[in-house]
C-alpha cells in the first residue's frame, strides 16, 4: 500500500524525522511537477526555527521546474491563501506546522483558488513523489524570485468588510495573544487600524513558542484572560501558530471554546444576510442548528477538516462556515478559515450590539459536552465502523463522517481517527447528567462492535 503523506492539513512531522531538507526538496519537486500550468507560486512561512531553511528547499525545487516564485516572507497562512488568487498564481505553499509543537514543521499546499488542495490532488502528488516521475532540467533553471509584502492590501480588504467607522467610534480595547506566532504580526496592526486600543501578549515572534505554547487551548489562555480583565478590554483573541484560527475571551477574561464563538458569528451574520447557510463539520454543537432554525437558515454538515468546509461553501455559495476549534470562514473575504477576519468581525459585533461579550454569550444556546477515546487497531476500523452503523439506533442518523446519532436531548458522534488507532466518541446534551448517559451509551456501542472482531 502506498504511503500517505498528507494529513488533515498538509504534510506535517518532526523535523529530522519525516521532515528533512531532502524530503521537503523531493516533495516540492513532486508538487511543482504536478503543476501542469507552470507559472507562478506564492510562498510564505511561519515563525518556526526550521522554517527558513525548509522554505529555501521548496523555492529551489520550484525554480528548477521553471516556476516563478513570489516570497511573502513570514506571514499567517490566510495571507498566503489571499495572495494566491489575488496574484493569479497557480499555487501556494506555506511552510508551517500550524498548532503543532516547535519540533514539528511541514507544508500546506494551496490551490489556485486559495483553498488547500483536495484529496484527489494530494493522492496524485504522493504518487508522483513515490514514483519519482518528475523531470528536472537544471539547464533550464530560471531564477526569478520576487519578494512582496501584501499585508497592507490584505488588512485593507478585511477592513472594507466590516463597519470600520462604527468600530472606530466605539473605542474598543482588545487583548491579542499571538502565541509567539505570525498572528502577532498582523492582528494588532489590523485592530489598531480599526481604532481599537490593543494590548499585546506573546506577540513577539519566537520559534520556540515559549509564551503559552503554539496551540490556543482555552485552558492555556489564562494570562490573556487575566490581562483582558485587568485592562478592561472588551474582548481578547488568541491565534494558533499560523493564525488561521481564533479563540476568543470576554471582558471578564472568560475564554470560550471555539464552538461558542462560531455560533455567535453565525447568529450575527445569518441575521443580516439573505444567504442563511452555515457550513460546519459534524462535530459541531447543536447550537448551530438551533440558531439556523431560529433565523430560518440551514446547516450544511461536512466531514471534519477545514478543506471540506471550504469546498462545501464554494459548492453551495454559502456565506459562512465555522469549526469548533476556532476556525471561521467568511466568504466575502475568502472561503478559508482566517483568524484575522474573525477578530475584525468580533469587533464589529461588539460595536454594533453595544453589549458585553459575556451578555451576548449568555443568549446563545447552552449545551454540555464530553469526549472519550477507545483503542481500535487500524485494520479493524472500517469493519467496526460498519457494524456500529448497522446496530446503532437513534431518532436521526447522519453518516457524513463516522456516525452521528441524534436523540431528543442530545447526540453521540463516533469517528475513527484518521491518524491514530482509536475511535473518538463525542457527546453533547442539554444537561451534564445526560452527557454522562450518552457517553456510556457511545462507549458501549463501540465496545460491542469491537467484540465482534477481536
Asked if residue 215 binds Mg ion (CB under 5 A), the reply is no
Beta carbon nearer to Mg ion, 340 or 380 = 340
Asked if residue 323 binds Mg ion (CB under 5 A), the reply is no
Binds Mg ion by CB under 5 A, chosen from 111, 116, 242, 266:
242
Beta carbon nearer to Mg ion, 12 or 267 = 12
Question: CB 444 → Mg ion: shortest distance, Å?
Answer: 35
25 is catalytic: no
> Residues 147 to 186: which contact Mg ion by CB under 5 A?
none
Question: Rounded to 5 degrees, what angle do the CA atoms 257, 258, 260 make?
Answer: 75
Q: Which stretch binds Mg ion (CB under 5 A): 66-74, 91-99, 135-143, 347-355?
A: 91-99
- Output b/e per residue, 150-181; b: 16+ Cβ within 10 A: bbeebbebbeeebebeebeebebbbbbbbbbb
Beta carbon nearer to Mg ion, 327 or 402 = 327
Residues 243-272, one symbol each (x = binds Mg ion by CB under 5 A, - = not), give -x----------------------------
Question: CB 113 → Mg ion: shortest distance, Å?
Answer: 19
- Binding residues for Mg ion, total number by CB under 5 A: 4
Binds Mg ion by CB under 5 A, chosen from 68, 240, 338, 401:
240
Asked if residue 98 binds Mg ion (CB under 5 A), the reply is yes
Q: Rounding to the nearest 10 degrees, give the CA dihedral for residues 185, 188, 191, 192.
A: -110
Q: Which stretch binds Mg ion (CB under 5 A): 176-184, 204-212, 237-245, 441-449?
A: 237-245
3-class SS of residue 362: helix
Selected catalytic residue, list 33, 61, 98, 283: 98
- Going by C-alpha positions, the residue among 158, 163, 147 that lies closest to residue 187 is 158
Beta carbon nearer to Mg ion, 32 or 221 = 221
The residues that touch Mg ion, with contacts defined as CB under 5 A, are 98, 240, 242, 244
Which residues form the catalytic set? 98
Amino acid at each position: 500500500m502506498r504511503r500517505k503523506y498528507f494529513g488533515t492539513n498538509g504534510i506535517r512531522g518532526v523535523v529530522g524525522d519525516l521532515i528533512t531538507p531532502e524530503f521537503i526538496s523531493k516533495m516540492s519537486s513532486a508538487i511543482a511537477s504536478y503543476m501542469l500550468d507552470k507559472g507562478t507560486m506564492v510562498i510564505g512561512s511561519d515563525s518556526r526555527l526550521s522554517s527558513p531553511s525548509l522554505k529555501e528547499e521548496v523555492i529551489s525545487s520550484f525554480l528548477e521546474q521553471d516556476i516563478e516564485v513570489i516570497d511573502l516572507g513570514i506571514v499567517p497562512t490566510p495571507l498566503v491563501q489571499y495572495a494566491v488568487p489575488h496574484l493569479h498564481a497557480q499555487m501556494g505553499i506555506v511552510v508551517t506546522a500550524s498548532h503543532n509543537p516547535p519540533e514539528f514543521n511541514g507544508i500546506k499546499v494551496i490551490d489556485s483558488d486559495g483553498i488547500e488542495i483536495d484529496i484527489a490532488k494530494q493522492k496524485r502528488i504522493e504518487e508522483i513523489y513515490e514514483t519519482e516521475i518528475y523531470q528536472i532540467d537544471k539547464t533550464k533553471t530560471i531564477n526569478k524570485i520576487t519578494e512582496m509584502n501584501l499585508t497592507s492590501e490584505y488588512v485593507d480588504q478585511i477592513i472594507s468588510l466590516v463597519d470600520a467607522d462604527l468600530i472606530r467610534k466605539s473605542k474598543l480595547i482588545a487583548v491579542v495573544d499571538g502565541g509567539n506566532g505570525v498572528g502577532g504580526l498582523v492582528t494588532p496592526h489590523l485592530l489598531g487600524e480599526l481604532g481599537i486600543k490593543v494590548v499585546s501578549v506573546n506577540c513577539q515572534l519566537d520559534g520556540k513558542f515559549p509564551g503559552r505554547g503554539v496551540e490556543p487551548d482555552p485552558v492555556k489562555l489564562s494570562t490573556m484572560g487575566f490581562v483582558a480583565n485587568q485592562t478592561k478590554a472588551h474582548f481578547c483573541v488568541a491565534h494558533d501558530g499560523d493564525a488561521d484560527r481564533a479563540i476568543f475571551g470576554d471582558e471578564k477574561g472568560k475564554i470560550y471554546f471555539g464552538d461558542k464563538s462560531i455560533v455567535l458569528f453565525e447568529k450575527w451574520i445569518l441575521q443580516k444576510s439573505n444567504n442563511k447557510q452555515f457550513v460546519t463539520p459534524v462535530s459541531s454543537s447543536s447550537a448551530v442548528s438551533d440558531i439556523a432554525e431560529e433565523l430560518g437558515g440551514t446547516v450544511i454538515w461536512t466531514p471534519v477538516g477545514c478543506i471540506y468546509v471550504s469546498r462545501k461553501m464554494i459548492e453551495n455559495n454559502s456565506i459562512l462556515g465555522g469549526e469548533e476549534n476556532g476556525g471561521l470562514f467568511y466568504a466575502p473575504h475568502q472561503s478559508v478559515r482566517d483568524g484575522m477576519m474573525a477578530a475584525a468581525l468580533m469587533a464589529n459585533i461588539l460595536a454594533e450590539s453595544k453589549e458585553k461579550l459575556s451578555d451576548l454569550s449568555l443568549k446563545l444556546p447552552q449545551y454540555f459536552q464530553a469526549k472519550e477515546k477507545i483503542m481500535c487497531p487500524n485494520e479493524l476500523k472500517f469493519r467496526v465502523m460498519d457494524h456500529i452503523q448497522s446496530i446503532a439506533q437513534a431518532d436521526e442518523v447522519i453518516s457524513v463522517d463516522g456516525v452521528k446519532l441524534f436523540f431528543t436531548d442530545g447526540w453521540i458522534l463516533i469517528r475513527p481517527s484518521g491518524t491514530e488507532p482509536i475511535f473518538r466518541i463525542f457527546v453533547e446534551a442539554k444537561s451534564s447528567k445526560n452527557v454522562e448517559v450518552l457517553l456510556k451509551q457511545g462507549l458501549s456501542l463501540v465496545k460491542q462492535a469491537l467484540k465482534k472482531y477481536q
